[in-house]
Structure 1
Amino acid sequence: MYYPDELVEEIRSKNDIVSVISSYIRLQKKGSNHMGLCPFHNEKTPSFSVSAGKQMYHCFGCGVGGNVFTFIMEYENFTFVEALKFLAERVGIALPEQEYSEEAKKLSDLKSRLLEVNKEAAKYFYVQLKSNRGQAAHQYLLDRGLNEDTIKQFGLGYANRYSDDLYKYLKSLGYEDEFLKQSGLVSIDEKRGGHDKFWDRVIFPIMDANHRVIGFGGRVMGKVGNEVPKYLNSPETKIFDKSRNLYGLNFARTSRLTNILICEGYMDTIALHQAGFNNAVASLGTAFTVFHANLLKRYTNEVLLTFDSDTAGIQAALRAIPLLKEAGLTVKVIDMKPYKDPDEFIKALGADEFRERIASAKNSFFFEIDVLQKNYNLNDPEQKTKFFHETAKKLLHFSEELERNFYTDAVAKAYRIDVEQLKRLVNRFGSQIVVGVNDTKDYPNDLNRYKKKTDDGLSKSQKLMLTWLIENPTLFEKINGILGPEDFTEGIYTKVARLVFEQYEKDKTVVPAKIINCFESIEEQTEVAALFSAGIQGEMNPSAWNKALSDTIMRLKESSLDKQSQKAIEVNDTVLLQKIIAQKAELKKHTISFDN
């Protein structure tokens, strides 16, 4: 649902963020900010900062941040519209009935009805499980070690033997065939008429992060032949995309533990929750995706893989690790041997032993090296050489030299190889990547990593400059004619800079919380909040401050002009190139006068 920006801003500005957040957690004034224990992760020392001046929050421990809307969405598991309505009611603002375009209204209505019919189906399946028809399914769950509280918590159910029973029930509630076909719950054809997607299966309702039922998984009881799949998931609908949702995340996201356990299946997840590990999730019968990784990044900085210990599970872990690391997550792998999965492990050895396995979880890099080593016979010199060549290539994935050296030392020690020889091998492969001599297909991400390392300094400079402008708006006049929003070219800073300069031009001030509102995703809002929460001048004396500011301006402008020069050269625009050269000369004059 869409509401005018002016109304959204009015609701935000009338809900003082300190007042709102202090109704949830205890805040104590520290200088110009308020500090408290972060409600989104466990901590003993307050690192959760709320700024009345900026009307935003930021946790220096786990990195979350945003404005008052973001907080309510995260804490209450609300959508933006739900948070908007909540905060509007809090300050006595009546929201108008919003008019939809015909297309938007149809899509909104369809999604609402899909959530509604899934909720009805979930209740139906649960009632069936508790009925006489569901005795075998209920006993199956009990035999799998689940208790009644767990069955209720996860809303487990049963689709009975009659293949059109759910269809008839939903029809009795007034749902029409055309809509039911879109729900993924039933199929309708000329030969069979309406028939259920699930029948004679134990049912696992799949919920989104806000506890709304968006789909279902069904498992047959007992052994089956190859023609019948053991597990069956809902097809994708307007509300269900299995590559973007994780089973159990609705509970795990509020566990407030420092990490999240990733499993392969429903029963593993449920078994871990019942054993007290309420930070477990699972992918929905599909390979782990970059969307899963980014989704997890919203709620944690560390994940532990509990994939099956068989060959398929190991390969699944190897595919998931780079996706998780690319999202910025620390990854560890739990050793489940001699058992196949967490469900079997918990039944055999119990929760305390599983905690021991968590504590001793292996760094994902060493897990990859151990798996790699199994492909080579280290007693054979040729095989051993190939193994260390592949290991050296993997070490190049660490772009930070210090970190790479630490891992190189550890590998050399573990496999009894001279560390200096291994470092030389790593450096040789690294130089081949840089000059393009070697075929880079073996490590396609490395060139991007080198580029990213080079660009990090520029990103930091752009972040620093934006922070200074937010903290000290008088700088806008000092950089007028030297630096503009077009000179911020790195990632999210491009949009932030444009909004910052536009807001200052209009209001002669900058309100960070208002700018945060211009970003839709929680990830972007958190990144912007972190930007606006960075420190500024600190204890620098005026001379050091002027030099730091001057150097930063020079670096940003020179980089911007260099990029413009490259474009001018590419299109052979000599007039533009001469103009850029003149701007570079003028820049030095401005910088000198600025220092004075």
Structure 2
Amino acid sequence: MALKASVDIVRVISEYVRLRKAGVNYVGLCPFHAENSPSFHVHQARQFYHCFGCNAVGDVFKFVQSIERITFPESLKLLAEKYGIPLTESNFKGGLDSAARERLTLLDINQNATKVFKHQLRNSNEGKQALKYLQERGLTEETIEKFDIGYSPGSFNTIVRQLSEQFPLDLLLKSGLILASESDSRYYDRFRRRIIFPIQNESGKIIAFGGRILGEGQPKYLNSPETVLYSKSRTLYGLNQARGTIRREDFAILVEGYMDCIALHQSGVTNAVASCGTSLTEWQAKLLSRFSEKIVVNFDPDSAGAAATLRSLNIFLESNFKIKALVLPGGADPDSFVKKNGAQEYRCLVEKAPSYFDYLLDRAHQENDLKTVEGKIAAVNMMLPCLLRIANRIERAELIARLSQFLGIEESILREELKNANQNREKPVITRSRIKKELKPSEKYLLKAILENDPTAGEMLRKLSISQDYIGLQSENIFREIITMYQEEGEISLKVLHEKLQSDIDKDFLNQALFTELDPEQALRCLEGIQRQKTEQEIVLLQEKIKQAELSQDFELLVSLHSRKSELKRMMAG
């Protein structure tokens, strides 16, 4: 077949899968099943592909059929159009089957409907109001044309009248553009008094429509129903326009709505795509992964956007993306921000956007009172599902350590909960009983001695006040209140101390100290134990700084840090 000889399978598949050369062949992650190690092989010389993971095999036509979910004749037509190769009747061997004919007719219906909507935008009185609205939103003529934006007027049968003479009513119904009345035999338009955003697949074919109400009315946005052409869970708005930039820059920006996506493209940020009112799905993540596995999620900062961001992060983590999460300042959405501040400022924020984990830590801090047990439980239960989805064990261990330090929860508890959830295939959940933390013995003994009015209590508090060795300890807040009370009152009131402690955790630590057993010898050694504990903590922090200095190759700082670490170790040994 002349068409097959004219199309290179590597070139075609590279539009969908990121391939790398391996000897005389090419390999990549299979687009037909989930995998972390490449098992999908493309043989350029013999012009076929084979996946050793799911046994998918075939030539260039079979690949296009499978990836686009179309029939064989449609794959011929798609490749011929894309690569400018003339297609003769002999290529079809008897013509299109009924399913292929229906799909091609539906594509033709959508193309003609788009022309109707664009004509209405420019020529009808209602359309001119819609055009004025779009211009007030800052869209240029070039952008309106680039995204084929149109308008569907309020009359109930514009599309019915315009297209029913060209296409049978049953196919117009299947396209989702019209509906049948339940009360009589009439048909009416699905989209009325709405600005129309045609939705293209990644090949540029119009497969559906989204409509925004002009003025008041509900729903604000209305999408086409599921059809043989359109699956909402498998489609990303703007991907056809963004795919080239995503490949070149090796990352995509995911936003919520049509206008967010369009505004970014107009400003020159052309690697943006939109989920358009649907929670991100595994299919959409897989679709994006054909072009890059790096993503910046930039949803609206409201509660719905925050919830959608969390769901999206979990999906991207399961698909092994490198993820950043961007929250724009001042509660702005991408559309309003880029119009006010420009593309350069937006790009700077994208570049500086925190990793998904830092974003989650910040949310945990903002949304929960981390001084309380309940706040810690809520925070850790938000974070654990994300940790469970991290396949790399080294990365997971590092993040567990960070979460443990951030929340003050023992690593062993977090690791055990993740292990149980993984074995039982359940959502990891930490309960109040699991999060309870034990105060270190040296802190318990020192608190016990002070609170029981040990003869040396005053001297110990004076030394602590000067050395501030209590700072950074689990019981820091308790010691601070005790020192302040003793300096002001000359004595410690257990009742007043309990009232001053705001955190449930601090109150629990205080009770642990009060109910511990203490002998005189332990009381004498407890201050020394606190000082040793403080020194050990400083050594741990120094080691972290040494790692960072090594990465940044700051040799002067490295010398200083190692010197301080050696000094502390000598103090502990002496």
Evaluate the alpha carbon distance shift between residue 253 and residue 239 of structure 1 in structure 2; reply closer, same or farther with a 3 A threshold.
Answer: same
Structure 1 residues not aligned, in runs of 5+:
1-6, 25-29, 36-48, 59-64, 445-596
The secondary structure found in structure 2 opposite 1:303 is strand
State the partner residue of 2:328: 336
Residue 316 of structure 1, CA deviation: 0.8
State the partner residue of 1:158: 151
Q: Which amino acid aligns with 1:283?
A: S
Evaluate the alpha carbon distance shift between residue 269 and residue 11 of structure 1 in structure 2; reply closer, same or farther with a 3 A threshold.
Answer: closer
Q: Deviations over 1:432-487 (max 9, x none)?
A: 45776xx934279xxxxxxxxxxxxxxxxxxxxxxxxxxxxxxxxxxxxxxxxxxx
| Counterpart check, 1:426 vs 2:417 | no
State the partner residue of 1:198: 191
Contact 2:243 2:271 in 1 (8 A): yes
State the partner residue of 1:265: 257
Evaluate the alpha carbon distance shift between residue 18 and residue 432 of structure 1 in structure 2; reply closer, same or farther with a 3 A threshold.
Answer: closer
Contact 1:243 1:286 in 2 (8 A): yes
Q: Which amino acid aligns with 1:429?
A: E
Q: Among 442, 445, 455, which residue is 2:428 paired with? A: 442
| Counterpart check, 1:127 vs 2:119 | yes
Evaluate the alpha carbon distance shift between residue 82 and residue 254 of structure 1 in structure 2; reply closer, same or farther with a 3 A threshold.
Answer: farther
State the partner residue of 1:305: 297
Q: Deviations over 1:195-215 (max 9, x none)?
A: 211222211111111111111
| Counterpart check, 1:247 vs 2:237 | yes
The secondary structure found in structure 1 opposite 2:342 is helix
Contact 2:239 2:273 in 1 (8 A): yes
Contact 1:219 1:230 in 2 (8 A): yes
Residue 51 of structure 1, CA deviation: 7.0
Q: Deviations over 1:71-121 (max 9, x none)?
A: 9999x9x96323665789689995252356xxxx33222211111111111
Q: Distance in 2 between matches of 1:310 and 1:344?
A: 14
What is the aligned length?
394
| Counterpart check, 1:279 vs 2:271 | yes
Q: Distance in 1 between matches of 2:205 and 2:325?
A: 30
Alignment of 1:456-475 (within 5 A): none
| Counterpart check, 1:405 vs 2:397 | yes
Contact 1:154 1:204 in 2 (8 A): yes
Residue 302 of structure 1, CA deviation: 1.3
Evaluate the alpha carbon distance shift between residue 303 and residue 383 of structure 1 in structure 2; reply closer, same or farther with a 3 A threshold.
Answer: closer
State the partner residue of 1:81: 76
Q: Which amino acid aligns with 2:225?
A: P
Q: Distance in 2 between matches of 1:18 and 1:180?
A: 36
Evaluate the alpha carbon distance shift between residue 394 and residue 68 of structure 1 in structure 2; reply closer, same or farther with a 3 A threshold.
Answer: closer
The secondary structure found in structure 1 opposite 2:244 is coil
The secondary structure found in structure 1 opposite 2:292 is coil
Q: Among 353, 356, 363, which residue is 1:361 paired with? A: 353
Q: Distance in 2 between matches of 1:19 and 1:390?
A: 43
Residue 409 of structure 1, CA deviation: 4.1
Q: Which amino acid aligns with 2:309?
A: A
Q: Among 86, 111, 132, which residue is 1:139 paired with? A: 132
State the partner residue of 1:112: 104
Contact 1:335 1:357 in 2 (8 A): no
Evaluate the alpha carbon distance shift between residue 141 and residue 300 of structure 1 in structure 2; reply closer, same or farther with a 3 A threshold.
Answer: same
Evaluate the alpha carbon distance shift between residue 56 and residue 248 of structure 1 in structure 2; reply closer, same or farther with a 3 A threshold.
Answer: same
Evaluate the alpha carbon distance shift between residue 205 and residue 131 of structure 1 in structure 2; reply closer, same or farther with a 3 A threshold.
Answer: same
The secondary structure found in structure 2 opposite 1:288 is coil
Residue 66 of structure 1, CA deviation: 10
Contact 2:318 2:389 in 1 (8 A): no
Evaluate the alpha carbon distance shift between residue 343 and residue 330 of structure 1 in structure 2; reply closer, same or farther with a 3 A threshold.
Answer: same
Residue 251 of structure 1, CA deviation: 0.8
Structure 2 residues not aligned, in runs of 5+:
16-20, 27-40, 51-56, 431-574
TM-score (norm: length of structure 1) = 0.58
Contact 2:417 2:429 in 1 (8 A): no
The secondary structure found in structure 2 opposite 1:204 is strand
State the partner residue of 1:483: none
Q: CA RMSD in A?
A: 4.1
Contact 1:249 1:281 in 2 (8 A): yes
The secondary structure found in structure 2 opposite 1:286 is coil
State the partner residue of 1:567: none
Residue 15 of structure 1, CA deviation: 5.4
State the partner residue of 1:237: 227
The secondary structure found in structure 2 opposite 1:95 is helix
Q: Deviations over 1:527-583 (max 9, x none)?
A: xxxxxxxxxxxxxxxxxxxxxxxxxxxxxxxxxxxxxxxxxxxxxxxxxxxxxxxxx
Q: Which amino acid aligns with 2:159?
A: L
TM-score (norm: length of structure 2) = 0.60
Larger Rg: 2
State the partner residue of 1:98: 94
State the partner residue of 1:209: 202
Relative contact order (alpha carbons < 8 A, sep ≥ 6): 1 or 2 greater?
A: 1
State the partner residue of 2:142: 149
The secondary structure found in structure 2 opposite 1:347 is helix
Higher mean alpha-carbon deviation, 424-433 vs 181-190, is at 424-433
Higher mean alpha-carbon deviation, 353-362 vs 306-315, is at 353-362
Contact 1:310 1:340 in 2 (8 A): no
State the partner residue of 2:372: 380
Q: Among 317, 326, 349, which residue is 2:309 paired with? A: 317
